[in-house]
Structure 1
Amino acid sequence: MTDTDRTTPGPVPGPGGDGGLDARLVVERDAFRLDVTLTAAPGEVLALLGPNGAGKTTALRALAGLVALSDGHLRLDGAELDRTPPESRPVGVVFQDYLLFPHLTALDNVAFGPRCQGASKSAARERAAGWLERMGLAEHANAKPRRLSGGQAQRVALARALATRPRLLLLDEPLAALDARTRLDVRAQLRRHLAEFEAVAVLVTHDPLDAMVLADRLVVIEDGAVVQEGAPSDIARRPRTDYIAQLVGLNLFRGHADGHTVRLGDGPTVDVTVTELLAGDVFVAFPPSAVTLYRERPAGVSARNLWRCEVAGLETHGDLIRADLTGELPLAADLTTVSAAELDLRPGATVWASVKASQTHAYPA
């Protein structure tokens, strides 16, 4: 065995040596309870998505061994990790603030993990140099963190995590510290590196774009529980909570369907276009861009859905103006700056909101 291959003994795989992650994480702390089940195959990137305080970071820390489980189990490649100390787990972590050692060069930051695993200084530095080259940072090997840009520091932190050859890679808001321009470039690079990673990766983020671009599967957590999981495209198309709908930019309502009509509780009805007649509880979703606004009740409009609303607020949303509406049906509407000016929109103004049935999407609740 060479110095490069020598590692600290880790947990022994269980019978069958099943690959991937199999965990039920139960953490009870004061008034908060986390209870989530996570499974992922080798090579899969799992994103934990949810609002602040939902339990995402607690779940990540439980996987790393930094928070003890109150109940449940944690198996990685068939090995039980519940009682394995953090330093003995085959887990690499990229923290939100990267936590690079300020007194060490980029090379020695990356070599730190292999050194802790028993590799000689020369072998650890050789492995670190290889990772820096893969990250496009070979020319920055001797630079200390203060001389690195945000994107470069992020890649050094990723290289440091990968240099230990983990079977589970944990990324805690890995792009949050970057400016918008850098984030775009680093996101693309991170996606490439994750695609090459052969074990399980778990990403925590509150940014839907990061989750959609980087992950194979999303797990949405609210109030310590999983509320929806699946492929990014499925979740974006069929959100099941208000949080997810707002995240992916949809108006979402729950009601009772009868054919092509959905009654929203005690509120108005929504006409929908579906290939098969619906019956029972359903969700109805449509984007803010599908909403057309009028200052007077329109005559001869083809849209079957028309509601009287009041402008509660206006805000810039990219190149558009987003109107927050209350009234018969609380919803969001997107329109151009010119249209908003022509309609003389302002808080308190009465408007009529219309949506064509063909622009709605209905699916079972």
Structure 2
Amino acid sequence: MTAGAHDADARTPENGSAEGLDARLVVERGSFRLDVALSVAPGEVVALLGPNGAGKTTALRALAGLTPLTGGRLRLDGTALERTPPESRPVGVVFQDYLLFPHLTALDNVAFGPRCQGATRAEGRARAAEWLGRLGLAEHAGAKPRRLSGGQAQRVALARALATRPRLLLLDEPLAALDARTRLEVRAQLRRHLAEFEAVAVLVTHDPLDAMVLADRLVVVEDGRVVQEGTPSDIARHPRTDYIAQLVGLNLYRGEARGHTVRLGAGAGITTAEDLSGPVFVAFPPSAVTLHRDRPTGASARNLWRCEVAGLETHGDQIRADLGGELPLVADLTAVAAAELDLHPGATVWAAVKATQTHAYPV
């Protein structure tokens, strides 16, 4: 549900600044330690992305005040919030399962936040009606949650959060409970509303597509710490961990570059288009890999490795081959090509990649 006891006139500190979010979230629980720094400007949408157990939800709960900080800082628009209780923070939260009040109509669910801020019943309902209208839900104002579809309930939860005029909007896996078709529609709507949001928005998700579409910047968290941050396109082009590479669908390796050759720790080498020196990452997409049952001739200009098929799975309209051996990698090919090659677990194949299809960049 939403939190916030500041009226619209008290949304910024006394000096009138609008500095956005400046936080270092340190939370220690048992053997797990979260230590994540976040700096988000007003009008910016940042997505916290990472595997299960990375600390994303802990970070979001710390921002909301639902999990106390062990250390660090939390400043919003120049005001320290570390000791501010959740209900007094200018924060709106959209939870994964929405947490709408089942006994209240959509209108009264949205009016709940403004009423908690001191608005009269009439004022709260007027603001709620405005937000329901902006999110295309005016005709559902009198409906209770059980009468709403998943997409409608998600938008009511978003309206409830926005009706408090928060300076920080937190979204916890906001599309996770939707079916694929509804998710596509609501994702587009949510992106439009986030683009119009003037304060700070932080999105927690494990879905790379949600993050890439909704966020201006990604912060990738693994084992309680930030391992990479940047724009979606930068993250996609320059992954720095295996998790990120798998997330964006790339083969990723780390090695030592000498000119156009990168030598990997296992002894294998990759020829690249870039001329570099020192520690580097090398990445290439599964679609860049061509497979052959026999060693191809005349392939001196390409990278070539002897591999063994470890597994096969459907990946969209392609077959993804998981290959082990001299250089572990994944390759995408059509179902027809997989049948012609008679691919099956244990089969030996030769994997080739053109140097021009690799991308090397400094560590």
| TM-score, L = length of structure 2 | 0.96
Cα 1:87–1:6 change in 2 (3 A) is closer
1:243 equivalent to 2:255? Answer: no
Name the count of aligned residue pairs.
Answer: 359
Equivalent position of 2:19 in the other structure: 19
Q: What's the % identity of the aligned pairs?
A: 81
The answer to whether the 8 A contact 2:8-2:165 is kept is no
Equivalent position of 1:167 in the other structure: 167
The answer to whether the 8 A contact 1:173-1:205 is kept is yes
Equivalent position of 1:92 in the other structure: 92
Equivalent position of 1:347 in the other structure: 345
Q: What is the aligned counterpart of 1:315 among 313, 316, 339?
A: 313
Distance 2:13 2:7 in 1: 16
1:42 equivalent to 2:14? Answer: no
Equivalent position of 1:75 in the other structure: 75
Equivalent position of 1:64 in the other structure: 64
The 5-angstrom pairing of residues 183-202 of structure 1 reads: 183-202=183-202
The answer to whether the 8 A contact 1:256-1:262 is kept is yes
Distance 1:256 1:127 in 2: 60
The answer to whether the 8 A contact 1:11-1:89 is kept is no
Equivalent position of 2:333 in the other structure: 335
1:327-357 Cα distance to aligned partner (Å, 9 max, x none):
0000000000000000000000000000000
The AA in structure 2 aligned to 1:341 is A
1:222-257 Cα distance to aligned partner (Å, 9 max, x none):
000000001110000000000000000000000000
The answer to whether the 8 A contact 1:92-1:168 is kept is yes
Deviation at 1:77, TM superposition (A): 0.1
Distance 1:39 1:242 in 2: 25
Distance 2:12 2:230 in 1: 31
What runs of 5+ residues in structure 2 fail to find an aligned partner?
Answer: none
What's the secondary structure of 1:13's corresponding residue?
coil
1:152-186 Cα distance to aligned partner (Å, 9 max, x none):
00000000000000000000000000011110000
The 5-angstrom pairing of residues 273-292 of structure 1 reads: 273-274=273-274, 277-292=275-290
Equivalent position of 2:356 in the other structure: 358
Deviation at 1:7, TM superposition (A): 3.3
Deviation at 1:300, TM superposition (A): 1.9
Equivalent position of 2:32 in the other structure: 32
Distance 1:59 1:185 in 2: 28
Equivalent position of 1:129 in the other structure: 129
Equivalent position of 1:257 in the other structure: 257
What's the secondary structure of 2:273's corresponding residue?
coil
The answer to whether the 8 A contact 1:10-1:88 is kept is no
1:307-344 Cα distance to aligned partner (Å, 9 max, x none):
00000000000000000000000000000000000000
The AA in structure 2 aligned to 1:361 is H
The answer to whether the 8 A contact 2:6-2:88 is kept is no
The answer to whether the 8 A contact 1:10-1:89 is kept is no
The AA in structure 2 aligned to 1:279 is S
The answer to whether the 8 A contact 1:13-1:80 is kept is no
1:215 equivalent to 2:215? Answer: yes
Deviation at 1:201, TM superposition (A): 0.1
Distance 2:113 2:169 in 1: 14
The AA in structure 2 aligned to 1:293 is L
| TM-score, L = length of structure 1 | 0.96
What's the secondary structure of 1:63's corresponding residue?
helix
1:51-81 Cα distance to aligned partner (Å, 9 max, x none):
0000000000000000000000000000000
What's the secondary structure of 1:164's corresponding residue?
coil
The answer to whether the 8 A contact 1:51-1:222 is kept is yes
Distance 1:200 1:327 in 2: 47
The answer to whether the 8 A contact 2:13-2:79 is kept is yes
1:52 equivalent to 2:57? Answer: no
The answer to whether the 8 A contact 1:13-1:77 is kept is yes
Deviation at 1:301, TM superposition (A): 2.9
The AA in structure 2 aligned to 1:30 is G
The answer to whether the 8 A contact 1:308-1:352 is kept is yes
